[in-house]
Amino acid sequence: MGIDNLKAVFQKAASEQRDQLTKEEIVELLTSTGITEAAPTSAEHPLLISLTNTREFGMVITAGKGGDNVELYASSCRKGQAFISAATQMTTAEEFFTLFKQTLVYKESSSFNDQQLTTFFSELIAIANQFSPTNPDAEFVIEELELNPVFLTNNALSVTAGLCKFGKPKPVPAKRPIQKIRNMLHPESIGIIGVSATKMNFGRIILKNLLDSGYSPEKMYIVRPGETEIDGVRCIDSLENLDHKLDLFIVAVGADAVFDMVDDIIATDAAESVMLIPGGLGETEASREQAAVMAQKMNEAHRHGDGGPIFLGGNCLGIVSHPGTYDSWFIPKFKLPKPQKKALRNSALLSQSGAFMITRISQNPWFDPNYMIALGNQNDLTHSDMVNYFSDNPEIDLIGVYIEGFKELDGIAFAEAVRRAILNDKQVVVYKAGQSEPGQNAALGHTASIAGDYDICETVLRQSGAIVAGNFGEFNDLFYVADTMHNKVIGGNRLGAVSGAGFETVGMADSIHSETFSLEMGTLEAHTHERLSEILKAKRLDALMEIRNPFDINPGADDEAHVLCTQAFAEDPNIDAVVVGLDPLSPMMRTLVESPRPGFDINSEDSVTQQLPKLVDAIDKPIIGIVDGGSLYDPMIEMLKDKGVCTFRSCDQGVKALAKYIEGRLNSNEIKRRHGS
């Protein structure tokens, strides 16, 4: 189509006060590059190829089945079969063509010229990136360019209909000084406003949690006129009375006082970073205009000097920073204990919803992140800012993110931050809310977010290297698996399955498929058959069981048999990961904290609870344990988790989580290969 030719047509149309091109202008542009207007009379398999300026991800290219029944076709196909999409800023023509080959329209046709189609994708991607809202040099922005139908044969690419809408680019916001996130997470001084001297309000709870988490009262200030100290922390009348600039200032006053407070913080330059705890800063219709003005003031401050203060929130639960030795959440500690469950905390959990985060931690204390950050409304700091910051943090191997909505163009910034994290050998697990229209409306009401088209969002995030969870439970499972497996080698999709319960081996095999990916049951080598045969013979089970994958080792198998069989599977070069059922109800297994048989319990050195963790530490492949039993076996599960064994309570849940995780890791491996990391 030609960037210069298209620019000239935009300029001409704009001079005529038009914001879209006619079909004739589009076809003329295509014809000028050798693309003919008339479609061959015998052409089949029409295509739709489009560029769309999306609010979150900028320019997105889409290709798939064209013609008159596009929507019906899309609704009747599995994901990725009718259409594929990609953010043009993060894809190449070759990568996009590889995705396009998965569509049904490509598989149905033998008339496509692959090189011709790749060249056309390349030209469209170049045009999209030139006329993109993220290009500071763009004179115009393409809002929508749709070509439908497009016909391809071995000799020609023909377009018979199309539309193109364009506009002027919007001003680009100032960059936020994200290096100050370090001041926020590792503050040498903290100030707080909104602390009651007489009752336990939110501000007082935050103060108490700060002190209880070990933060020194000598490094703290309370802005409270008329008081000298509260709970041993000095009080000052106003920010002007500070004797030095704060690293972190926590605002816990009512929403109606926040707007003036933000003006005061910017004017006095009193803090490097600020938490805005209150809600009502953009969630309601009445507050949106004021919140927008406040955000503009924050952004304007970023254009001057060292970038001014950064703001977290509003509607923000706050931060728990274990390295910073502070907890600023307004949740009393007796409601949510946070014991250290890992010897080395190596993850960060970011959540737009504070409630989502605390319920995850309450349900699974083995998450145990180093940092837990609630972003709230993103009046200033965004998801992409936080992921960019942690991408360079050597302490962090895993970043978990719960998102309700992106600020304008922060979706593409977030995707680029995720890819940067992946190239730095991090893992990123994401749950994006607003998957339905009611969900989008709920997200808007909760944190003043505008949730965009979920399918595009999911596609772009997967292409960036994120492991995308489809629901809350899946997020829990994937974050947990990723946390325990970050140092394991993912060499492929071949699974080994072991259990003494027949239903469990069947359940493992039945759970290897998902909508977009499948594990396969690996074929055991002859040497592994011999090892397993020797184990069965030594345990007098050889006459009862046949060696296969999945492998039912019989309820008569004891702790040692489970561990030895798991080891044999894990050391087979045709197996990439192992799931083992630990058969808690078997009379041969040491699975109880107390047993009528002396020494026949989980504390015995011979128990699977003591021996499996040693194997998991020694093997560089993923191993997942399944303990399918009631509350009587909670101590067994807790001990395995404490010792670093990834443990689930049902085989289907464990295998499905492992399959999704392996899919994500293989995808990130491919991204690193393509980008030379």
Find the CATH number of the domain harbouring 40. 3.30.470.20
The residue range of the domain holding 610 is: 494-672
- What pLDDT, on a 0 to 100 scale, did the predictor assign at position 303? 95
Is 677 within the bounds of a domain?
no
Average pLDDT over residues 564-581: 98
Is it the case that residue 442 has pLDDT exceeding 50? no
Token pair 């060499």: residue? 491
Residue 40: pLDDT above 90?
no
Quick one: average pLDDT of 656-662? 96
pLDDT bucket at 441, cuts 50 / 70 / 90? very low
**What pLDDT was estimated at residue 279?**
82
Domain count, the chain: 3
Of 72-86, 116-130, 439-453, 636-650, highest mean pLDDT: 636-650
Output the six-digit token pair for 219.
């490094």
pLDDT level of residue 103 (50, 70, 90 thresholds): confident
Q: Tell me, what DSSP letter sits at residue 178?
A: G
Structure tokens of 489?
């080698």
pLDDT at residue 448 tops 50: no
Do 522 and 428 share a structural domain? no
Residue 593 reports pLDDT greater than 50: yes
Single out the residue in 442, 463, 485 at which a domain terminates. Answer: 485
Encoded tokens for 627:
């303990």
Which of 485, 511, 544 is the endpoint of a domain?
A: 485
- Which single residue is written with the structure tokens 């190449």? 92
Rg (CA), the chain: 29
Phi, psi of 145 (to 5 degrees): -130, 110
- Asked if residue 397 and residue 506 are part of one domain, the reply reads no
Can you give the pLDDT at residue 104? 85
pLDDT tens sequence across 272-321: 999 999 887 777 777 888 989 999 999 999 999 999 999 999 899 999 99
Identify whether residues 103 and 125 lie together within a single domain: yes
Which structure tokens are listed for 527? 């040497």
Per residue in 251-270, pLDDT (tens digit) is: 999 988 999 999 999 999 99
Domain membership flag for residue 640 = yes
Averaged pLDDT for residues 626-651: 97
Residues 108 and 231 both lie in one domain: no
- Looking at residue 451, its pLDDT comes to 35
Of residues 26 and 306, more confidence is placed in: 306
pLDDT above 60 (res 373):
yes
Instruction: State residue 116's pLDDT score.
Output: 83
**pLDDT category, 66, cuts 50, 70, 90?**
confident
The fraction of the chain above a pLDDT of 70, given in percent, is 92
Per residue in 385-419, pLDDT tens? Answer: 999 999 999 999 999 999 999 999 999 999 999 99
- 227 pLDDT above the threshold of 60: yes
For helices 502-510 and 651-674, angle between their N-to-C axes, nearest 10 degrees: 40
442 within domain boundaries: yes
Encoded amino acid at 380, one letter: D
Is the pLDDT score of 42 beyond 60? no
pLDDT at 176: 96
480-494 residue pLDDT tens: 999 999 999 999 999
The mean pLDDT of the chain is 90
8 Å CB contact between 482 and 421: no
3-state DSSP assignment of residue 482: helix
| Same-domain status, 525 and 469 | no
Q: How far apart are CA 642 and CA 637, in angstroms?
A: 8
Question: Is 634 within a domain?
Answer: yes
Confidence (pLDDT) at 440: 46
Q: Does residue 43 carry a pLDDT above 60?
A: no
pLDDT at 446: 37
Residue 148 predicted with pLDDT over 80: yes
Indicate which CATH number applies to the domain containing 542. Answer: 3.40.50.261
Dig out the tokens for 501 from the structure: 């319960």
> Six-digit token pair at 398?
């895993």
pTM: 0.92
Residues 121 and 224 in one domain: no
Final residue belonging to a domain, choices 134, 167, 200: 167
- Rounded Cα gap, residues 625 and 38, in angstroms: 62
Residue 172, in any domain of the structure? no
One domain, residues 458 and 564:
no
188 contacts 247 by C-beta, under 8 angstroms: yes
Q: Does residue 256 share a domain with residue 235?
A: yes
Same domain for 140 and 191, yes or no, is: no
pLDDT score of 155: 60
Go through the chain and tell me how many residues it has: 677
